[in-house]
Copies of this chain bind each other. A is one copy, B any other.
Amino acid sequence: MTILQIALTIAICIAVLSFGFAAWLFMWVKKRPSSNPKIAVIAEYIRKGANTFLKKEYLVLAIFASVAAVLILLFLPMPIWKGSPLTNVYMMLSYIAGTVFSCLAGKIGIQIATIANKKAAEAAQKGIQPSFMAGFRGGAVMGMAVVGSSLLGVAAIFWIFMDATMLLGFSFGASSLALFAKAGGGIFTKTADVSADLVGKVELGIPEDDPRNPAVIADNVGDNVGDVAGMGADLFDSNVASMAAALVMASVLDIATNGVFTSMVFVYASIGLLASIIGVATARIGKNGNPTTALNSSTYVTTAIFALLTAGATALFFNVEPCWRIWGASMIGLIVGVLIGLTTDYFTDDRRSPVRKVAHASKTGPAFTILSGISYGFLSVLPAMIGIAVSALTAYKICEPIGATSGLGVDFGMFGISMAAVGMLSIVGMIVANDAYGPIVDNARGLVEMGDLGEKALQITDELDSAGNTVKAITKGFAISAAGLTVIALLGAFRAEVNTAAEALGRGANYLAGFDIMNPIVFFGILVGAAIPAVFSALLMLGVDRNAQRMVGEIHRQFDEIPGLKEGKEGVVPEYDKCITIATKGALKELIPAGLFAIVATLVVGFIGGVVAIGGFLLGNIVSGLLLALFMSNSGGLWDNSKKYVESGHEGGKGSDAHKAAVIGDTVGDPFKDTAGPSINTQITVVSLIASIMSTIFLTASLF
């Protein structure tokens, strides 16, 4: 067996192990006791609503994917009448596999989340420990499914086709699906959340998750389809993209090295998954333990295991200088990722000054809540941007000397950057677990409230929910930064693809040395590319806006027309499904223009300015995308926690003017942090991948 075959075998074994572990966790969660009939009824509402949405969404996406698959068959990587038809078939199959695997991960996530929510709710009656474990292990099922299927998919596609370019097709399948899943889920969840709060909390003054509110089930469904399925698709996509970028770069290097670097990518990714398995398996919380500490410490455990095991594996299998440098690059990624997470925490944690200052500013009125929140959001961009910049530069510089001596030039440095991204994303299993934990306990809190499980259970789920929010901010900083490094690596992959294509077209081996800012075509691409994330997020937010206005109308209608609903008369139930239908229809309607816009803009720029303009376009997209994603995610998290801080009795507490202002801030922040911000990630990745797989076409057919 060659080293590459060993590495692929390890990857597939560990992926299978993670599925086994996920199945065990699934059964464990399912076995937790649940007996309350009221909870069962409401949980069933949520489960059905989530599955209905997913079914309709996947139907729409199946149409999109089919069209895309046909286009790929006809045109990619080369028009079928020009290149070899078989390559196009392979590319199409890889693409389809990417979409299917992504859907699968989302579907598994929804399955477990809609079980774990009621288990965690009922467990909350017994104490924080069982409730936490139900929520956490439920989230971990999703984590294992996402990372396991991405590793399995990448390894299988690579083993079958032995061509890294096919991975770009697989990755494009994953990310085009994620683009719509994240956007659609994001619009659904925030439509419901914002409308429920606006009529319920603000107008009528009834508590969150009050069963009288017609949008309350839609809100809980939204947590699942947006934060579980959408987020899962997003991180599945990031993980696949980072591996694909690294493998494309590794292929370039491995022409001379017998598959060593390709093997390293697989071994490191496998170790990341293994570390996450161990981290999840050992996660515990004391009887009265702090859930935030439990979540964070399991993340740190995973990080440490990854660092140790990769060092061991490098010593064992790859004990030469170039490989140790690569190990260094991936450690840089890991460390900087943790540091960026900590700075994100600073801006969104209610024990720190930004959240408190925004809460204090709320006393002067909502305009100041907004202004100070936007300002701190802008400030929060700096450490993350510096972190990404420094980790990319350091990873490159660590690996560059090898590039210089081996004559591989920038390629080795770019491989270093891509391995920093792999390092940062190594703990993605843990991240997904923590991220999916959030909506599960959020749902559990809703079930406790709607099922009248008592004050103690409510307090416990409140605490679990709040821990989910804090940890989410950290993991989000992590995810955005990792996406940042990944797209930098994808820019390198794009250049490599262009050069391969140019060589095939007989235009010389090193056709494109780079992209010079002073070249006006590059500059043109940069400026247009920079505008894309802004427009993309605007379209999503306007979608939420329009959709929420429709739903608010429906909620008002129900309160007006259904007798006894407002007063909470026994036996009067609102028409929950009407709200779910509005959210579903609206989300599916609004997700299309935003997603298509990003794709079409890439094609237009490519056909106008060719590969050179596309290089600039990707850069502009990365720069403004990172800026806006960080800004929106962080200020959204900050407003959310400011509101909670006021609600916990500060600056006047619940019902005060400061509270009203803070609620307005939170409502603005909701689509920022859960619709637009995280979708930008996916948008950047999709655009980068389209660029790569279209490189031959852009080379042969462009205006300039």
Residues in B with CB closer than 8 Å to A361 are: 545, 549
Q: Is the CB of A378 within 8 A of B538?
A: yes
Query: Which residues of chain B are within 8 angstroms of A198 by Cβ–Cβ distance?
Result: 364-365, 367
> Are A514 and B521 neighbours in the complex by a CB distance under 8 Å?
no
Contact B538 A379 (CB under 8 A): yes
Q: Shortest Cβ distance from A525 into chain B, in angstroms?
A: 8
The answer to whether A491 has its CB under 8 Å from any CB of chain B is yes
Name A's interface SS: helix
Chain B residues near A492 (CB-CB < 8 A): 518
Q: Which of the listed residues A378, A414, A631 has the most CB atoms from chain B within 10 Å of its own CB?
A: A378
Chain B contacts for A542, CB-based, 8 A: 372, 375
Q: Does A65 touch B at the CB level, under 8 Å?
A: no
Assess the A517–B367 pair: CB atoms within 8 A: no
* CB closest chain-B residue, reference A376: B538
Chain A stretch 276-333: residues in CB contact (< 8 A) with chain B: none
* A541 at the binding interface (Cβ < 8 Å): yes
Given A513-B516, A545-B361: A527 in contact with B382 (beta carbons within 8 A): no
- Interface segment, one of A209-217, A458-466, A501-509, A620-628: A620-628
**A541 and B624 form a contact (CB under 8 A):** no
Known: A382-B535, A542-B372, A627-B624. Contact between A518 and B668, CB under 8 A? Answer: no
In contact, A664 and B365 (Cβ under 8 angstroms): yes
For A627, list chain B residues within 8 Å (CB): 530-531, 534, 624, 627
Q: Are B194 and A382 in contact (CB under 8 A)?
A: no
A204-243: CB near B (< 8 Å → 1, else 0) gives 0000000000000000000000000000000000000000
Residues of B within 8 A of A378 (CB): 534-535, 537-538, 541
CB-contact partner of A202 in B365, B538, B626, under 8 A: B365
Contact across chains for B517 and A619 when beta carbons are under 8 A apart: yes
- Contact among B514, B518, B538 with A519 in the assembled complex (CB-CB below 8 Å): B514
From A537, which residue of chain B is reached at the shortest CB distance?
B378
Of B366, B377, B544, the contact of A366 (CB 8 Å cutoff): B366
- Range, interface on chain A: 35 or more
Tell me which residues across on chain B come within 8 A of A202, comparing CB atoms: 365
Which positions 349-384 of chain A face chain B at CB distance < 8 Å? Answer: 361, 364-368, 370-372, 374-379, 381-382
Q: In the bound complex, how far is the Cα of B485 from the Cα of A700, in angstroms?
A: 31
Contacts of A616 in B (CB 8 A): 517
Known: A390-B524, A664-B365, A668-B371. A382 touches B518 (CB 8 A): no
Of B368, B521, B544, which is within 8 A of A371 by CB?
Answer: B544
Closest 6 CB pairs of A and B: A514-B516, A367-B667, A378-B538, A389-B527, A396-B520, A514-B518
- A contact set with B: CB distance below 8 Å: 194, 198, 202, 361, 364-368, 370-372, 374-379, 381-382, 385-386, 388-390, 392-393, 396-397, 410, 413-414, 417, 488, 491-492, 495, 513-524, 526-528, 530-531, 534-535, 537-539, 541-542, 544-545, 548-549, 552, 615-616, 619-620, 623-624, 626-627, 631, 664, 667-668, 671
Instruction: Please give 14 more A-B residue pairs, beta carbons under 8 A apart, in addition to A378-B534, A495-B518, A515-B517.
Output: A364-B548, A364-B552, A375-B538, A378-B538, A385-B527, A386-B528, A393-B523, A396-B520, A491-B517, A515-B516, A515-B518, A517-B522, A526-B623, A527-B623
